[in-house]
Chain A
């Protein structure tokens, strides 16, 4: 597929997203609110190092000035105090300002790439929160409509397939003081895959709220199956335990620094039941980037299913820096990753978000990712026959060496009233990724494009 066709298809998909979103009454944008229900932008300045790690702390109130000596009231003006019961009734009749706020939203995402994969992802979410009470409740739901036929699946003569994934999540947070906690649960369901996740985290502010420590744990239980086959007949459970340690720190009045360390312990067979790995006889010259037809001509007749190790320990350490300038924000995130399968990876993510007046935020986004392959990666697995298959084998190009460069834009237009423009926001995110696979048997590169339209309403 040519780059022009990808761009054309993306344009139509984004246009469809925008049209559909006009019929929805919600919005979806802020990732921190989705996970933590952070208070809206124009509340009292909240100044903890991490919005998601620590809820807002109201500014310290200045002590009231000493009361002046009241002049003696004139005798004529002296009145008997009203009946306390009547006073209470008057107070009850006064309209009280609620501290509870809400936010709802939607995002319509559309993805396509040069491997003829298209994904349409509408999603909605909502949050109810009380900034002064320190609590929030949020929920989200999304649908992935995937149409795909990747090269390695085509090679097994499987037809192009379409699949729908549903995913929903609930989260709650309570942080009345320095100590806080949040819990969350999510479910993801597609015809051949079911995933449950539950977890929680605790945060504790230190150094007079100049730093915040995060301790979290997540348990995930996945069941991988086969399409049109009940889980009772075929299923592969995968359990995942994630331990998270985080630290956020206020560097100065304009800058934040965040560290996150994850240990992810995964057990279970994650081999893809649909993925077959071509085998080649000794001495066969297999260059990268061959066509499916060519591979079928030179490979051995046996079809070996993918087989990867039954457990995987993954470690990720990330550092984030955010600095707010007069009317712009710079965000730099770096993640280092390694796992027991041998992958070592680095991911750098940079955003610059400039305020163009009160109603527009616009900026570029760049992301770089590079990784080494798993230690059992081979472009062409060699076999002498069915009895001589390599024990570990994969055709997953995301387990091979790759480098990807992504660029995109972040645009938010706030169309609320003059008193509070941020009450209603429209957003458009674009994201184009070029990935190089220097050692993949079928493809050597992939160009992908994503467009996402968001609508956001605060109450």
Chain B
């Protein structure tokens, strides 16, 4: 959890970016057809009902690719 300190996160991003840039296979655009499968989306596969249940049941928020708004649900 200490890694979550706000000042450390941008640095962690830069490190991750550097590692990824140097250590991964370069994939040409015409080789990425498999990655276009709908189940490979970076979005959440949960529908609005499941997302709402999570928002009410868990004390944590964030970390998703999309915006989250208040609902006064808790």
Binding site for B on A (CB under 8 A): 28-32, 34-36, 38, 41, 45-53, 56-60, 107, 109-111, 119, 121, 123, 140, 142, 144, 165, 167, 169, 184, 186, 188, 190, 192-193, 195-197, 199, 207-211, 214, 216, 218, 220, 222, 224, 238, 240, 242, 245-254, 256-264, 272, 314-318, 320, 322, 324, 329, 331, 333, 335-338, 343-345, 347, 351, 353, 361, 367, 369, 371, 396, 398-399, 402, 404, 408, 410, 429, 431, 433, 435, 448, 450, 452, 454
Contacts and interface: CB of A to CB of B under 8 A. Distances in A.
A251 B1 CA distance: 26
Contacts of A121: 48-49, 52
B41 A41 contact: no
A218 B24 CA distance: 32
Given A398-B59, A450-B53, 5 more contacts: A262-B63, A317-B12, A369-B58, A410-B45, A429-B50
Given A192-B72, A263-B6, A35 B53 contact: no
B72 to A, nearest CB: 3
B29 A337 contact: no
B72 A193 contact: yes
Contacts of B47: 28-29, 31, 107, 109, 123, 429, 452, 454
Contact of B63 (A123, A186, A316): A316
A36 B42 CA distance: 11
- Which are the 6 A-B pairs with shortest beta-carbon distances? A47-B32, A109-B49, A316-B62, A318-B63, A45-B33, A193-B72
Contacts of A251: 24-25
Nearest to A345: B60
A228 to B, nearest CB: 16
B60 A347 contact: yes
A41 B38 CA distance: 6
Q: Per DSSP, are chain A's interface residues mostly helix, strand or loop, or mixed?
A: strand
Contacts, number: 293
B69 A261 contact: no
Contacts of A41: 36-38
Nearest to B37: A324
B13 to A, nearest CB: 6
Contacts of A222: 70, 72
A197 B27 CA distance: 37
Contact of A195 (B13, B45, B70): B70
A369 B56 CA distance: 13
A148 to B, nearest CB: 10
Nearest to B24: A251
Contacts of A111: 49, 53
Given A45-B36, A47-B35, A252-B25, A343 B60 contact: yes
A374 B69 CA distance: 22
